Structure 1
Amino acid sequence: MASNANVGNGLEPLCRIITPIGMLGYGFDEFEIKYALESSIQSGIPAAIILDSGSTDSGPAKLALGTMTCPRASYERDLRKLVATIIKYRFPVLIGSAGGDGSNAHVKELVDLVKEILASSEYNSTQLKVIAIYSDIDCDLVLERLEAGGISGCGPCVPHLTAEDVKASKTIVGQMGPEPYIRAMASHPDFDIIIGGRSYDPAPYVAFSAYHAFNQRHGQILSLDSRTLGGFTHMGKIMECGGLCATPKSPSCQATIYRDGTFDVRPLMPGALCSPTTVAAHTLYEKSRPDRLYGPGGYIDLSASTYTTLSDKCSVRVTGTTFHSSKGSGDCYTVKLESAKIIGYRTMFMGSFIDPILISQLHSLLHGVKSYVTQQHSHISEKWEIGFHTYGYDEANKTAYMGNIFVVAEAVAETQATATSIASTARVACIHGPYEGQKATSGNFGFGLGGKGEIEAGPCAEFSIYHLMELEEEEEDAFEINQQDKRAKKHLFSFEALLIGVGDRVQRCSSRLHNNFTSTPGDMFPQLTPDDAWPNTAEVPFILPHTVGEAAKVIRSKNAGPYEITFDIIFNNKETYDYVRNTGLLQTDLIAKLYNLSVDDIVYCGFFDQALAFKATIPRTRNGKPVASGGFMEDDVHGSQRYLPLMNLRLDIMG
């Protein structure tokens, strides 16, 4: 489709994507995306609103217990805004990984919410076509592929999958690529909303771009040029987080995609700016390594990607990313399987110790508490465990940092009753347990927060499947439910189209339908050209740093899937980056020492020139043993509180 925009350099606009927030259910400001929607109408470029809705970041509970990431009311609020936007602007909406885990049940839950919205008095004269794409995977198929050797861990830290793990898993989802979305759009080009099951985060973004590259028909995703598909995927990886690539972070973001895979990214929050460094740095986020990002069917290579500031001073143009397919290298197409299981029931209690005499013997006291609980439950045959989170304890000096120690205890057992008995007995022992030199005899432990002694937390979940399954030919695609094409039934995923509501269908967007906007195309879609005069980063002047924290404008830790934690250090400017790199301090052996690991355990360690950054990725461990995020004794499910040893690291120790 021709565009009114003058983009220069011979680039042909393909489509535009607007993301109002990085996660459906978090809430968004519809006025923040208003001008992006209006300019998209005037430009004549096909456009869509696309949002992610899922992640394993918050732990295993959704898959094991059937809960959603956000309350139902939060999804209803955001979907109501999206329905209003569809009616006003006539753009389609695509949502990936419904409800957080993308299970069939949560796809249907969001479809039900759309039904309720369209049945309300505000919208009861409107009809929308909604496509639901399903991603649940049959347990028997997983067992069959496991027995045939077609399943492996998604990364070096993931344990070997067993048949017992599979059988204990309540719901198994497959992380689909763009193929099911393309199939659904081609089958129903007049769709208004797609609610997708568990999806690779960039998948709906890639699919919408590819669908228009195929001239709004079905096509094979791997028929696209490597740079084109690489650009689409890279764009999706950035956009699925909203405007996280901007400074300050913007909830909303816009991408203009060109036919050759080049794309422009622009934050929509007033005052937010993208720079080449901030956009390049986004490929560090939540990933094991920054130069290769793996997904269904292959990976993108960012080693030759380039980032250029545009003349509006807030947009960045990205090009040069390439996609490498697993089939192209002779390997199978794989999809990631995700699931979780219930390992027992959990009860908690919390409170504080203030006596410095007790605090100096804290470990001894808690050991005595565990011994007392064991003695009092010697008649119990079921398995149980108890652990203590302690906050404010100075391990080196056996004292409290701020005068008291806060303790959260967790008990897990095969039944809720036993877990509560374990926790209650431990709480009593914390209150009345003896210790050497005791003077305060009325009670050791301050408790009663929220009016509770014990808090029954219910089932305790644990990740059971985070593995790659090899697919047979064409299984990555989807078939339409109730269609007669038996050949298509070999596809792994499925979809159905539903007409919801009564009254007139909403027409697809056309600039002829919107002639009441006062802004001209030139106002709302200015010429965007590379601006070599504009600095690539808002650089901080070079001052010799004493610590890594002083040298960095961003330093963070984050989960990279359930089994890894990754660290990103983005330096203040190139001089600082070069200085720290040349010290030779940030090496694999140092990361291993800081986090009590062996050098062989380190998943990745290296510098990333494009973002002036350093990255290291390690296994997630607890008490020296590999674990998955969430589950029993988790206290940092995002892994976002692990960066302090790096932040405090002195750079002058080499001198």
Structure 2
Amino acid sequence: MNEFRVLSPTAILGYGFPEESFRAGLARDPHLIAVDAGSTDPGPYYLGAGVSFTDRAAVKRDLELMIEAGLERDIPVVIGTAGGCGADPHLEWNLEIILELTREKGWQFPLGVIHAELDKELVRQALRQNRISPLYPAPDLTEEEIDAAKHIVGQMGPEAVMSVLGQGAKVVLAGRSYDPAVFSAAAIAAGFDKGLAIHMGKILECGAIAASPGSGSDCLLGTLRTDCFIVEPLNPARRCTPTSVAAHTLYEKTNPYILPGPGGVLDLRETTFTQETETAVKVSGSKFLPGDKYTVKLEGAKCVGYRTVSIAGCRDPIMIGQIDHITEAVRERVQDNFKRYGYKYFLHFNIYGKNGVMGNLEPQPNVTAHELGIIIEAVAETQEIANTICSFARSTMLHYGYPGRVATAGNLAFLYSPSDFKAGAVYNFNVYHLMEVDDPLSLFPSKIIEVGKEKR
């Protein structure tokens, strides 16, 4: 085989893609259809709560098109980080959608399922054996934090996907995955260079975001050769350039030359980006350097409380000019009112129009807006306490008598009634560490399910 073609339909399963772009990709006879289904970008809630951040109907639509095309053309379909976070509840959620489609479409095929959620006792044993180290800026892991985590997942490399494909799976549904793994596994198994395969996977993982104009809801094709790979969009409105592809190579990375992953690093010190055609870019020189030890990144999230928020607007220039003083005075009033109860809570005022995006890092401290958006957030150990703190802060701010106030009907405009929203459980990432393993497959048990052949 002289080249290996991979079709990436979209940045994340459920983000969608134009069917015309997808058909153009299929016309190029890809050897693999692969998609990343998740990310840590939406924050720890989805891992902790065991729910998807993408919509079920949107995920089902994407899966229907991808799996149907794969089965019709005998192209393997690989899905990574199932359900958005890749823990067991996410994997089961995504699996149920596939089984539902199978019943509706009458499909029959071998489905490979790879788990990525780790047993806490296994993690505790690794910690006692000094095989776990923190990723900056995470602190050292403790057994208390392991116990507190709702779910802990390991980020699988390409080896687990290679194993299941080697067992004949036509569709692979994988738990938490190193993003490039699902795009590179089949090519590595076919004998292509691992460094080039993983780098191509790094570009393909976000669909057409690496094109210009970029989009996370459009397709990208990667063609891997013995000494390079080529990436190109499948929508004529887009083109890849050396700048757009190089920029996406650095996406979410702190080092421009060394990109760590399971089992080693991607070395880009000799990588070149060349305009191959008007819309395609050729990449060469990327190398995979194995590490002395094989490490897997762990991710875990724990519940830290419950949240209530209230959203309001302010257009009084006198109040806007005193907003820092007012928020601090409200904070002190809340504390004084409930000090006898010893409530443990976090009260925050996010001020959009002042520093709502950058907070204390905002380089322009002076307010120039004619109106402000104010989000009052309370987090406490119970939902009831969070409700109480948010409600009292909201009512205090609504009627706070600041110097120069003219109107007394109220300082804030509320967009909604009720004004307070009970947001439920709040989670923080509390496991963000590396675990040393002897076998890349040891953390990721898999099985083959002959779907469509169940007893009826």
With the shorter chain as reference, the TM-score category is over 0.9
Would the aligned equivalents of 1:336 and 1:469 in 2 still touch at CA under 8 Å? yes
CA RMSD, 1 decimal = 2.0
Aligned-partner Cα distance in 1 for 2:416–2:399 = 21
Give 1:438 deviation, angstroms.
2.7
Tell whether 2:112 aligns with 1:151: no
Q: Per the alignment, in what secondary structure is the counterpart of residue 190 of structure 2?
A: helix
Aligned to 1:337: 298
Aligned to 2:179: 201
Would the aligned equivalents of 1:20 and 1:252 in 2 still touch at CA under 8 Å? yes
Aligned-partner Cα distance in 2 for 1:321–1:460 = 41
In structure 1, stretches of 5+ residues that fail to align are: 2-11, 41-45, 214-223, 478-490, 504-655
Aligned to 1:629: none
Could you report, residue by residue, the CA deviation over 1:135-182 in whole angstroms, capped at 9, with x for unpaired residues? 11111121222222221122x322222222111101100001011111
Query: What residue identity is the alignment partner of 1:456?
Result: K
User: Using a 3 Å threshold, how does the CA distance of structure 1 residues 298 and 391 change in structure 2: closer, same or farther?
Assistant: same
What TM-score do you get using the length of structure 2 for normalisation? 0.93
- Which of 209, 213, 223 is equivalent to 1:244? 209
Could you report, residue by residue, the CA deviation over 1:528-581 in whole angstroms, capped at 9, with x for unpaired residues? xxxxxxxxxxxxxxxxxxxxxxxxxxxxxxxxxxxxxxxxxxxxxxxxxxxxxx
Superposition map of 1:319-398 within 5 A:
319-327=284-292, 332-393=293-354
Would the aligned equivalents of 1:185 and 1:211 in 2 still touch at CA under 8 Å? no
Aligned to 1:234: 199
Aligned to 2:358: none
Aligned to 1:532: none
Aligned to 1:183: 163
Would the aligned equivalents of 2:25 and 2:219 in 1 still touch at CA under 8 Å? no
Would the aligned equivalents of 2:33 and 2:70 in 1 still touch at CA under 8 Å? no
Aligned to 1:585: none
Give 1:55 deviation, angstroms.
0.7
User: Using a 3 Å threshold, how does the CA distance of structure 1 residues 140 and 401 change in structure 2: closer, same or farther?
Assistant: same
Aligned-partner Cα distance in 1 for 2:73–2:210 = 26
Tell whether 2:28 aligns with 1:28: no
Could you report, residue by residue, the CA deviation over 1:261-301 in whole angstroms, capped at 9, with x for unpaired residues? 52111111113111223222221111112211100011011
Query: What residue identity is the alignment partner of 1:170?
Result: K
Aligned to 2:27: 38
Aligned to 1:428: 395
User: Using a 3 Å threshold, how does the CA distance of structure 1 residues 398 and 204 change in structure 2: closer, same or farther?
Assistant: closer
Aligned to 1:418: 385
Tell whether 2:205 aligns with 1:263: no
User: Using a 3 Å threshold, how does the CA distance of structure 1 residues 398 and 264 change in structure 2: closer, same or farther?
Assistant: closer
Query: What residue identity is the alignment partner of 1:454?
Result: D
Would the aligned equivalents of 1:359 and 1:399 in 2 still touch at CA under 8 Å? no
Query: What residue identity is the alignment partner of 2:127?
Result: L
Aligned to 1:439: 406
User: Using a 3 Å threshold, how does the CA distance of structure 1 residues 431 and 39 change in structure 2: closer, same or farther?
Assistant: closer
Q: Per the alignment, in what secondary structure is the counterpart of residue 170 of structure 1?
A: strand
Aligned to 2:188: 210
Would the aligned equivalents of 2:314 and 2:320 in 1 still touch at CA under 8 Å? yes
Give 1:396 deviation, angstroms.
10
Could you report, residue by residue, the CA deviation over 1:76-114 in whole angstroms, capped at 9, with x for unpaired residues? 111111232124333111010001111122222212111
Q: Per the alignment, in what secondary structure is the counterpart of residue 456 of structure 1?
A: strand
Would the aligned equivalents of 1:345 and 1:416 in 2 still touch at CA under 8 Å? yes
Aligned-partner Cα distance in 1 for 2:39–2:335 = 38
Superposition map of 1:153-168 within 5 A:
153-154=134-135, 156-168=136-148
Q: How many residues align?
A: 446
Aligned-partner Cα distance in 2 for 1:347–1:367 = 19
User: Using a 3 Å threshold, how does the CA distance of structure 1 residues 423 and 212 change in structure 2: closer, same or farther?
Assistant: same
Q: Per the alignment, in what secondary structure is the counterpart of residue 150 of structure 2?
A: coil
Query: What residue identity is the alignment partner of 2:144?
Result: E
Larger Rg: 1 or 2?
1
Give 1:128 deviation, angstroms.
1.8
Aligned to 1:61: 45
Give 1:16 deviation, angstroms.
0.9
Aligned to 2:116: 135
Would the aligned equivalents of 1:20 and 1:30 in 2 still touch at CA under 8 Å? no
Moved over 6 A (4+): 394-399
Give 1:398 deviation, angstroms.
8.6
Query: What residue identity is the alignment partner of 1:143?
Result: R
Give 1:371 deviation, angstroms.
1.6
Aligned to 1:295: 261
User: Using a 3 Å threshold, how does the CA distance of structure 1 residues 399 and 470 change in structure 2: closer, same or farther?
Assistant: closer
**Bigger relative contact order, structure 1 or 2, given CA contacts below 8 A and separation 6+?**
2
What TM-score do you get using the length of structure 1 for normalisation? 0.66
